[in-house]
């Protein structure tokens, strides 16, 4: 699976060379074989209520190729199942579908499950997919995945998932790594956290001094020394990260919240059908098919029972909520932003006083997600900001004064609406700013020569950070993981490699 992740920087550039970002022009399905050799077919469809996009999965009955995959994979509807892209670690799988080129698109727009996502891919490919975690309101999986797709038959990308390696971002001085089939952590010195090679079945980023890890099909938390906290041993069925002193954990089919002693917080025992980490003093929880928010005392926001179809976490003082097919925002008192009821077709999250929103165009195309136009609304007015109206094909939330948007290519805009002048002006891919730098990529005629680099907030490529990397992740704690050839490095903001991992040594 890690080789699959490592190739992501190359493969996304192949897809991003297509001009459209739209599902109606989807041209590639994906066939992936897990480590046991079992092949699965993945493809993109709309949910029954047209509110979100889903990635469907079908198990194949033999080794497929571009000629026989329809017979071996697509015709077995009795084995169809679906997973929402935001349950699939979109940074890894969803980028194969050119509509979902942004790893945050599904994650933040359509569902609250924006925590602990990277584990879901691992869970899926190990056959431990938990259908109870999917939102039944999106439709019956078999019915949804039996929808006939475009008359243009998609092509196939065949890819084997085998053991390999992966390098994550640094959080609290530690970065998640995968070597072979095991996950663990490295320190900024390059040493393994525990002095030993990775040992976990999966590992998440550190947060508030703890990291969620899986071992022997059970989840728990380790501390910054790499040891299991005595009261947080691997005894849960699934967990999310600690935030504001509490972590959601699943026991059987129910979720609750534990503190750092490992005990369930008062009134927060396992009674929810799904739960997210706390943010802004509230946590999103689902009871039955409806979502709502609770505080740390377990009291519902505004004393209202869960009533929303979907929600997002609180960010910048507001949370995205979906009701009756439309998205809007509520504040920490449960009131609609400036009294406005949900009216958008897609939304992002508030950051730096602005939030991306999208609306469909002509009524005759009201269910066609390709007709979305994005802009930004202001926290102060609840209205579209000046010079930031509905004019983009896609938009991310602001970070460090800039937002990456799609307008016939990726570019950056300031909170004032002015474009950041770069050379070239538009890119084939772009990540958000962090540590005052943003990773960008351009595609050349030879797609195998796609290069990544970093621009600063003046639109320039600083010395040592030009377009030369095979793949690049964003900066975190002033370090970024980059691939150069087959080798991986962590570089600092001057472009100097401070840690190097040689492919031949890992092999």
Q: How far is it, in rounded angstroms, from Cα 262 to Cα 55?
A: 35
Mean pLDDT of 81-104: 39
Residue 43 binned pLDDT confidence (cut-offs 50, 70, 90): low
Token pair recorded at residue 134: 């999917």
Peptide bond into 424 cis (omega under 30): yes
Which position has the higher pLDDT, 11 or 219? 219
DSSP E strands, 92-239: 155-160, 164-171, 174-180, 182-187, 202-207, 210-215, 218-222, 238-239
Helix (H, G, I), strand (E, B) or coil at 124: helix
Residue count (the chain): 507
Say which range, 38-47, 66-75, 101-110, 291-300, has the weakest mean pLDDT: 101-110
Q: How far is it, in rounded angstroms, from Cα 52 to Cα 112?
A: 13
Q: Could you tell me the pTM of the whole model?
A: 0.72
Q: Write b or e for each residue in 62-92: b if 16 or more Cβ atoms lie within 10 A of its Cβ, otherwise e.
A: eebeeeebeebbbeeeebbbbbbbbbbbbbb
Q: How far is it, in rounded angstroms, from Cα 309 to Cα 301?
A: 16
For CA atoms 458, 463, 469, 475, the dihedral sign is negative
**The pLDDT of residue 82 is above 70:** no
In the chain the first and final C-alpha atoms are separated, in Å, by: 14
- What pLDDT, in 10s, does the model give residues 216-270? 989 999 999 999 988 899 999 999 999 999 999 999 989 999 999 999 999 999 9
Q: How far is it, in rounded angstroms, from Cα 442 to Cα 238?
A: 39
**The pLDDT of residue 442 is above 90:** no
pLDDT at 70 (0 to 100): 58
Delimit the CATH 2.130.10.10 region(s) of the chain: 399-507
Domain 399-507, CATH class in plain words:
mainly beta
pLDDT at 471 (0 to 100): 86
- What pLDDT, in 10s, does the model give residues 264-305? 999 999 999 999 999 999 999 999 989 999 999 999 999 999
234 CB contacts (<8 Å, ≥6 apart)? 213, 214, 215, 216, 218, 219, 220, 228
- What pLDDT, in 10s, does the model give residues 391-405? 999 899 999 999 999
Provide the 10 A C-beta neighbour count for residue 32. 23
Which position has the higher pLDDT, 124 or 288? 288
Which position has the higher pLDDT, 155 or 66? 66
Closest residue by Cα to residue 313 from 340, 276, 361, 351: 276
Residue 204 binned pLDDT confidence (cut-offs 50, 70, 90): very high
């Amino acid at each position: 699976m890690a080789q699959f992740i490592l190739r992501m920087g190359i493969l996304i550039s192949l897809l991003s060379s297509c001009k459209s970002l739209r599902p109606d022009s989807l041209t590639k399905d994906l066939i992936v074989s897990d480590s046991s050799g079992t092949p699965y077919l993945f493809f993109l469809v709309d949910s029954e209520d047209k509110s979100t996009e889903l990635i469907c999965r079908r198990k194949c009955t033999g080794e497929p190729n571009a000629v026989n995959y329809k017979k071996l994979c697509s015709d077995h509807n009795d084995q169809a199942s679906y997973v929402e892209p935001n349950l699939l670690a979109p940074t890894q799988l969803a980028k194969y579908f050119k509509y979902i080129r942004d790893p945050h698109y599904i994650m933040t727009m359509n569902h609250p499950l924006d925590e602990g996502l990277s584990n879901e891919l691992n869970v899926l490919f190990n056959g431990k997919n938990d259908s109870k975690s999917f939102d039944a309101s999106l439709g019956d999986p078999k019915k949804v995945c039996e929808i006939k797709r475009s008359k243009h038959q998609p092509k196939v990308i065949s890819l084997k998932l085998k053991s390999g390696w992966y390098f994550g971002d640094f959080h609290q001085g530690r970065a998640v790594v995968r070597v072979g089939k095991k996950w663990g952590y490295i320190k900024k010195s390059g040493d393994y956290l525990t002095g030993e090679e990775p040992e976990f079945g999966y590992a998440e980023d550190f947060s508030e001094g703890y990291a969620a890890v899986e071992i022997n099909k059970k989840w728990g938390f380790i501390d910054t020394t790499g040891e299991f906290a005595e009261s947080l041993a691997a005894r849960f069925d699934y967990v999310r990260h600690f935030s504001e002193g509490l972590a959601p954990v699943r026991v059987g089919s129910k979720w609750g919240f534990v503190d750092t002693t490992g005990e369930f917080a008062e009134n927060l025992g396992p009674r929810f059908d799904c739960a997210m980490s706390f943010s802004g003093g509230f946590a999103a929880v689902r009871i039955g098919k409806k979502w709502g928010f609770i505080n740390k005392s377990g009291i519902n926001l505004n004393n209202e029972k869960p009533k929303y179809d979907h929600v997002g976490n609180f960010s910048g003082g507001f949370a995205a909520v979906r009701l009756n097919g439309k998205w809007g925002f509520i504040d920490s008192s449960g009131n609609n932003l400036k009294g406005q009821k949900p009216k958008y077709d897609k939304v992002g999250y508030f950051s730096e006083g602005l939030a991306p929103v999208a609306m469909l165009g002509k009524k005759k195309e009201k269910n066609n997600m390709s007709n979305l136009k994005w802009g930004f609304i202001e926290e102060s007015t609840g209205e579209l900001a000046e010079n930031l109206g509905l004019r983009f094909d896609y938009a991310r939330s602001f970070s460090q004064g800039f937002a990456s948007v799609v307008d016939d290519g990726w570019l950056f805009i300031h909170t004032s609406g002015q474009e950041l002048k770069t050379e070239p002006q538009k890119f084939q891919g772009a990540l958000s700013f962090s540590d005052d730098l943003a990773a960008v990529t351009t595609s050349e005629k030879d797609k195998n020569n796609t290069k990544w680099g970093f621009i600063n907030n003046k639109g320039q490529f600083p010395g040592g950070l030009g377009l030369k990397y095979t793949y690049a992740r964003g900066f975190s704690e002033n370090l970024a993981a980059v691939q150069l050839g087959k080798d991986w490095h962590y570089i600092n903001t001057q472009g100097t490699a401070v840690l190097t991992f040689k492919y031949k040594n890992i092999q």
